[in-house]
Structure 1
Amino acid sequence: MRLLYFSLLFTTMFVHAQKPKEVLNWINTAQSENKNFYFEIPFIYRNDEIVIQVRIGNQTYDYIFDTGGYNNITDAIQEKNNFPILTKQTVGSSNKIKKEINIVKLDSLHIGQLSFHDLAALQMNFDESPTIKCTIDGGLIGASIIKNYVWQIDYPRKKIIVTDQIGKITNLQKAIKVPVTFNNRLMPYIDAKINGKKEKMMFDLGSTTLFSITEKSAKKHDTENAHEIIGGGTEGGNGTIKESIYVLNSGKVEIKNLYYSNKPVYYTSTNNESLIGNPIVKDYIVTLNFKDDEMYFLPIETADEGWMNYGFTLKYDNGKTKIATLLKGSTAEKAGLSVEGIIEEINGKKIDCLDFCECKKSYSILLEGKNEIVLQLNKDGKTQQIRLAKQKIF
């Protein structure tokens, strides 16, 4: 039930003497000397993100492949390389937290054999974004690099094919072709229908939720039957905020001839875009041919209908495992779980993870792997055992 958005969106404040169009032109430009190429790039899938290796200077870093973000580097990479600063800029992450950052000019950046030179990048600090820090030690490969080439994300083989010629991709005959439009920041949008209602949605591979919409869009649907997530919050590139999260039943989702049924659609008051997120790559081999304004979806397997969930998530907090979020009205809440409740054992075993990142991985395996779980709680100094089965929410 974690809601994580990771797209960085420009705000309207500019500093120094640079004009908005000039700054945007820097960010939107990514030049490569490679021509007539076909490269295969391995990736790992970590914390629901596509993570690839990127070389900057003489060091290689883990980067998120993000269609909804900008190219960026961390403060640590900037300190090591001392790239020229083009300007300063105020940016807002998708949960509306704003920060002033540097825009720097990288002399080179390499993704496997694909090379870029004189590349503008945002200099970011992810210290207040714990999930991102568990996922990468670099930054984002974003829209300006992705826009110019063809990228095929093959989840079963954990491989990305990148080429400058769509004809080099050989498995598109049975794929579903979907048209794409772009805003002036090169972010991709596709038309969808959620329960019969039209929705223009950003295709954002930096979002770890399959479907999310704005609060305004949610009002077109049956919000009276929305499920509230207690203790929720959103994490973006500029930090984390606590806020109410709500979940709607999507009914039928249509993206041209691509369909999902009864999937969760998340919304909060800070959502500033409706998004299709990263989990779609588990159901389809996705080919991005953004230079020709199109995408292709080749089915991997039929997606399961509905939403099965334990109704809670876990977090590591100062040496303790606690209940992070709770689905209001779920069997977990009715069984006595509460936000911030302390968990001493899971399935009869003491919890032996020792830090936020290690525990996050352990919790994910526990909550996704089985259909039944036994929790031992410390409630008011007394031990209580609760056995829960996954619940079909809808």
Structure 2
Amino acid sequence: MLPAFGVACLLSIGIQSCSFIRGFKALTAGEARVVLAPDTIPFAYHHNKIIVQGQVNGKTYDFVLDTGAPTVIWEEVAQDLKLAKARAAVSSTDANGTRQQLNFYAAESLKLGNLEVEGINLSSVSTLADEIKCYANGGIIGGNFMRHYHWQIDYENQRLIVSSDFSRLSVPKNATRVNATVTLPQGLVVIDGIRVLGKEEEFTLDTGNGGSLNLGMQNWDAAKASEMGSYAEANGYSNLSTGGRKTITTNTIKTDFTSPMDTIPNAIIQVDTKNSLLGNHYLAQFGTITIDYSIGKGAVYFNPKKETAPDAMSYGFLPVFKKESNAFVVGKIYKGSEAEKAGLQLDDRILSINGKALSEIDYATYCDNISSGKASYVLEGDTVSLIVQRNGQQLDFRISKYSLFN
């Protein structure tokens, strides 16, 4: 189980530092507009991220809706709106350990549909991860805004249904109610009683995380993973955060996942984030989830789940777009995989996959693909053909699909 301050220091794609809490008092300012009749807000769903249009001081921007984070705007937005600083800056650390400076600005209002918080103070960060801006040029709408309301996230119809009065939301009778802790002032939603590797863990509901199930690195136990399942280790780039990516060692586990809302034998669980998270890829399998943000008695209602078979097949590598190189590179390689045996190396520049040229995809094109929901490449088939460039030399690979846990 995480210590109390462990969850409080989490921001899934952005900031992760206890020093950030020093500035959180500035974020509690503001008065929420009461919205009783449920407000329906459409969203776009790109790369397993919920993208909404919101307004800061009346100007429209795209935001990631992130239950696992506080509300953040990019520094460029603060400068664009000429916002006044609300307090002194603090130093913080992002989710990958990169030190950053956080500024705090006073805004007249932050609005999403008919939802509005007036006189709100917003944190701001100069993100190094320009990829985030491909789908969110405004920033992140997070828990300290969301906790003023109650939310139904309808993944199937790509809409949010929101009200100040939880009883106004229509929750199916066959939905499973799971108690949750709503942290203050951040508004994170934490579910306890989830068992992985023989221990109960706290998992944060994290719609800013496009992944599925993530066991926190601080809870990783290789011996238990071998005893209660199996795991595959990889070297590569970390998940995207506001400070960019860095090279880390991660693990993928196949083990039982037992929670109040479902039980998954031989679940595929990633170990690549500091804390344990329930991401969008997992949450979307329920079709709709409903969040009761009542302080002290919060809950999450899960609609009946659509079962999906865990996919343990892999080519042993993962492409990543690296802005510094303005190109796709090999961003992760599993140890002992077909890719490693074939001689593929981290940071090899990918020229083509299965005959589809990637060498001409620059950052602007990559961003356009993300914002439109278009895939830049597809990994499919029993064998994938790959052409890479390394030290000026062009290399050809044919890599077969294999099971991570053979």
TM-score normalized with structure 2 length: 0.83
Cα gap change, 1:130/1:214 in structure 2, threshold over 3 Å: closer, same or farther? same
Cα gap change, 1:288/1:372 in structure 2, threshold over 3 Å: closer, same or farther? farther
> Is 1:330 aligned to 2:346, yes or no?
no
Cα gap change, 1:283/1:79 in structure 2, threshold over 3 Å: closer, same or farther? same
Greater displacement, 5-14 / 160-169: 5-14
> Is 1:388 aligned to 2:400, yes or no?
yes
Partner SS state of residue 133, structure 1: helix
Alpha-carbon separation, structure 2, partners of 1:240 and 1:46: 20
Instruction: Report the AA paired with residue 123 of structure 1.
Output: S
Shift in Å at residue 190 of structure 1? 0.5
Partner SS state of residue 77, structure 2: helix
- In structure 2, the partner of 1:79 is 79
Q: Which structure 2 residues correspond to residues 1-394 of structure 1 after superposition, within 5 A? A: 5-12=12-19, 20=22, 23-87=23-87, 88-126=89-127, 128-184=128-184, 185-191=186-192, 192-219=194-221, 222-223=224-225, 226-249=231-254, 251-267=255-271, 271-284=273-286, 285-291=288-294, 292-316=297-321, 318=325, 320-351=327-358, 353-356=360-363, 358-359=365-366, 361=369, 366-367=377-378, 372-378=383-389, 381=393, 383-389=395-401, 391=403, 393=405
Alpha-carbon separation, structure 1, partners of 2:280 and 2:99: 24
Shift in Å at residue 385 of structure 1? 4.2
RMSD: 2.8
Alpha-carbon separation, structure 2, partners of 1:370 and 1:359: 23
Shift in Å at residue 102 of structure 1? 1.3
Q: 1:67, 1:142 within 8 Å by CA — same for their partners in 2?
A: yes
Q: 2:27, 2:121 within 8 Å by CA — same for their partners in 1?
A: yes
Alpha-carbon separation, structure 1, partners of 2:320 and 2:243: 20
Partner SS state of residue 377, structure 2: helix
Q: Deviations over 1:265-315 (max 9, x none)?
A: 3335xx542222222232011111112400011135112234332221113
Cα gap change, 1:329/1:319 in structure 2, threshold over 3 Å: closer, same or farther? same
Q: Can you give the 5+ residue segments of structure 1 that lack an aligned partner in the other structure?
A: 15-19
Shift in Å at residue 352 of structure 1? 5.8
Alpha-carbon separation, structure 1, partners of 2:402 and 2:12: 25
Shift in Å at residue 151 of structure 1? 0.9
Alpha-carbon separation, structure 2, partners of 1:371 and 1:133: 34
Shift in Å at residue 181 of structure 1? 1.0
Cα gap change, 1:193/1:312 in structure 2, threshold over 3 Å: closer, same or farther? same
Q: Deviations over 1:22-67 (max 9, x none)?
A: x433323452223312111111122321110011234211101111
Alpha-carbon separation, structure 2, partners of 1:377 and 1:13: 41
Cα gap change, 1:220/1:333 in structure 2, threshold over 3 Å: closer, same or farther? closer
Cα gap change, 1:322/1:72 in structure 2, threshold over 3 Å: closer, same or farther? closer
Q: 2:387, 2:394 within 8 Å by CA — same for their partners in 1?
A: no
Alpha-carbon separation, structure 2, partners of 1:389 and 1:13: 43
Instruction: Report the AA paired with residue 180 of structure 1.
Output: A
Cα gap change, 1:6/1:344 in structure 2, threshold over 3 Å: closer, same or farther? closer
Alpha-carbon separation, structure 1, partners of 2:380 and 2:164: 39
Partner SS state of residue 245, structure 2: strand
Shift in Å at residue 93 of structure 1? 2.0
Cα gap change, 1:387/1:330 in structure 2, threshold over 3 Å: closer, same or farther? closer
Shift in Å at residue 85 of structure 1? 1.3
Percent of aligned pairs sharing the same letter:
20
Shift in Å at residue 114 of structure 1? 1.5
Cα gap change, 1:35/1:346 in structure 2, threshold over 3 Å: closer, same or farther? closer
- In structure 1, the partner of 2:6 is none
Cα gap change, 1:145/1:13 in structure 2, threshold over 3 Å: closer, same or farther? closer
TM-score normalized with structure 1 length: 0.86
Q: Deviations over 1:237-288 (max 9, x none)?
A: 2333222222222x121220312333333335xx542222222232011111
Alpha-carbon separation, structure 2, partners of 1:365 and 1:326: 20
- In structure 1, the partner of 2:7 is none
Q: 2:14, 2:243 within 8 Å by CA — same for their partners in 1?
A: no
Q: 2:73, 2:138 within 8 Å by CA — same for their partners in 1?
A: yes
Alpha-carbon separation, structure 1, partners of 2:175 and 2:300: 9
Instruction: Report the AA paired with residue 280 of structure 1.
Output: Y
Q: 1:28, 1:186 within 8 Å by CA — same for their partners in 2?
A: no
Cα gap change, 1:115/1:379 in structure 2, threshold over 3 Å: closer, same or farther? closer
Instruction: Report the AA paired with residue 80 of structure 1.
Output: D
Cα gap change, 1:58/1:186 in structure 2, threshold over 3 Å: closer, same or farther? closer
Q: 1:346, 1:376 within 8 Å by CA — same for their partners in 2?
A: yes
Instruction: Report the AA paired with residue 262 of structure 2.
Output: L
Q: 1:345, 1:376 within 8 Å by CA — same for their partners in 2?
A: yes
Cα gap change, 1:322/1:136 in structure 2, threshold over 3 Å: closer, same or farther? same
Alpha-carbon separation, structure 2, partners of 1:152 and 1:45: 15
Partner SS state of residue 186, structure 1: coil
Shift in Å at residue 7 of structure 1? 4.7
Q: 1:248, 1:265 within 8 Å by CA — same for their partners in 2?
A: yes
Instruction: Report the AA paired with residue 219 of structure 2.
Output: S
